[in-house]
């Protein structure tokens, strides 16, 4: 398996299955772990970072954990951006310097970043609202890694992390939700404020500090100390259904008697532009795909499936287009390539995606 193979597939978390998957794109948990016998990444020397990367890779191999280990330091900028768009590595790992890597499963549900802010950042993502199965999987991977790695741990403070905001469980429990109707009806700010009051963080699709794109938002816990993993998972699992209910309520208001035709018009125009445009920016694509995604879920579009739309959010990102085309493209060229890719994927009698581009 190598990076180029990934251009022909997509992560399992995009397949649009699992509970509430019309609104909850995926559930995600990450664990921060550090080796007890090395300085944290920001204080580790080059040689030490190499040793950390080797130790983690060895534990994966010897433990027969089915993960593909990819060095990130020697990758091209394009490949690093590709892994970032794919949600397999973070912005921080993409932009860092020095020895670092990522290990991921063939279905891309697991990714283990090496020498991020912490020595290990283990991540598991599953489609839909499925935090229970995500926890089972990540807990298992963590146990397997720990068989061969000495984790930094204190009985009082738990797993020790480079930043005290992660100390304790080192866990971040999150869901990626699609909230176009709450955005459109201008209720989203109210929801954010309510979430912040109960100590939950809201971020955009591509993590901290990014503008929410395509009406996707990640909602996650902030506290990591003093509550068990199960409690933190339960907290979020109890809040998400309320957000889902608000979004459904807002959608119903949008398709209510008087307004249905306006929404139907908006959705159909979005679909039409995506199917016929000859040049299109990333932002416009995200905006229109978001409308189309909601349109499918409301039964306003019936000849397109959710997994394809989910995949298009990722595959129309800049590095993905360039990997699919097999060459570096300037912004203008990318906009043309993006439109062509969209026309291909959305045309009636759709091509097998494997033969595209």
CB closer to another protein out of 159 and 206:
159
* Ranges within 1-40 binding another protein (CB under 8 A): 34-40
Q: Does 147 bind another protein (CB under 8 A)?
A: yes
Instruction: Among 4, 8, 136, 226, indicate the residue that binds another protein (CB under 8 A).
Output: 226
Output Rg (C-alpha) for the chain, integer angstroms.
21
How far apart CA 347 and CA 315 sit, in angstroms, is: 16
Q: Which stretch binds another protein (CB under 8 A): 14-22, 138-146, 324-332, 344-352?
A: 138-146
Residue of 208, 227, 228, 229 lying closest to 217 (CA atoms): 208
Q: Does 314 bind another protein (CB under 8 A)?
A: no
CB closer to another protein out of 55 and 292:
55
Q: Does 115 bind another protein (CB under 8 A)?
A: no
Q: Does 76 bind another protein (CB under 8 A)?
A: no
Q: What is the largest CA-CA distance in the chain?
A: 67
- 287 strand-pairing partners: none
Containing 245, the helix (H) or strand (E) segment is helix 229-254
CA distances from 42 to 48, 84, 97, 174, 334 (A): 11, 21, 10, 26, 36
Q: Does 299 bind another protein (CB under 8 A)?
A: no
Instruction: Among 5, 8, 42, 252, indicate the residue that binds another protein (CB under 8 A).
Output: 42
Q: Does 326 bind another protein (CB under 8 A)?
A: no
Q: Does 209 bind another protein (CB under 8 A)?
A: no
Helix (DSSP H) and strand (DSSP E) numbers for the chain: 13, 10
Count CA atoms within 13 Å of residue 313 on its CB side: 27
Minimum CB separation of residue 53 from another protein in Å reads 14
CB closer to another protein out of 43 and 278:
43
Size of the site for another protein (CB under 8 A): 48
C-beta of residue 274 within 8 angstroms of C-beta of residue 288: yes
Contacts with another protein by CB under 8 A lie at: 34-40, 42-43, 45, 48, 55, 117, 139, 142-143, 146-160, 162-165, 167-169, 171, 223-231
């Amino acid at each position: 398996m190598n990076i180029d193979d990934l251009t022909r597939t997509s992560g399992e978390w995009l397949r649009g299955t699992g509970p509430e998957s019309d609104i909850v794109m995926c559930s995600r948990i990450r664990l921060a772990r550090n080796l007890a016998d090395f300085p944290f990444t920001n204080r580790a020397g080059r040689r030490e970072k190499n040793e950390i990367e080797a130790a983690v890779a060895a534990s994966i191999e010897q433990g027969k954990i089915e993960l593909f280990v990819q060095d990130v330091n020697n990758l091209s900028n394009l490949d690093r951006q590709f892994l970032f768009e794919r949600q397999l590595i973070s912005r921080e790992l993409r932009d860092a310097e020095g020895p670092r890597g990522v290990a991921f499963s063939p279905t891309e549900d697991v990714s283990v970043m090496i020498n991020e802010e912490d020595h290990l950042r283990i991540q598991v993502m599953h489609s839909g609202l499925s935090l229970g199965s995500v926890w089972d999987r990540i807990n298992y991977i963590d146990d397997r890694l720990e068989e061969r790695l000495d984790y930094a741990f204190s009985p009082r403070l738990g797993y020790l992390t480079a930043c005290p905001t992660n100390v304790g469980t080192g866990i971040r429990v999150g869901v990626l939700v699609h909230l176009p109707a709450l955005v459109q009806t201008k209720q989203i700010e109210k929801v954010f404020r309510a979430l912040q009051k109960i100590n939950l963080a809201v971020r955009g699709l591509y993590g901290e500090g990014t503008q929410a794109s395509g009406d996707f938002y990640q909602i996650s816990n902030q506290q990591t100390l003093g509550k068990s993993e199960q409690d933190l998972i339960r907290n979020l699992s109890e809040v998400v259904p309320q957000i889902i209910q608000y979004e459904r309520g807002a959608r119903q208001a949008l398709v209510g008697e008087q307004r249905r035709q306006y929404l139907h018009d908006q959705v159909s125009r979005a679909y039409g532009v995506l199917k016929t445009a000859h040049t299109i920016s990333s932002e416009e694509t995200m905006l229109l795909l978001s409308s189309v995604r909601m349109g499918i879920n409301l039964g306003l579009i019936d000849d397109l499936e959710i997994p394809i739309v989910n995949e298009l959010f990722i595959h129309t990102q800049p590095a993905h287009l360039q990997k699919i085309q097999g060459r570096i493209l300037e912004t203008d060229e990318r906009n043309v390539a993006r439109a062509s890719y969209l026309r291909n994927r959305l045309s009636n009698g759709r091509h097998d995606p494997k033969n595209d581009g």
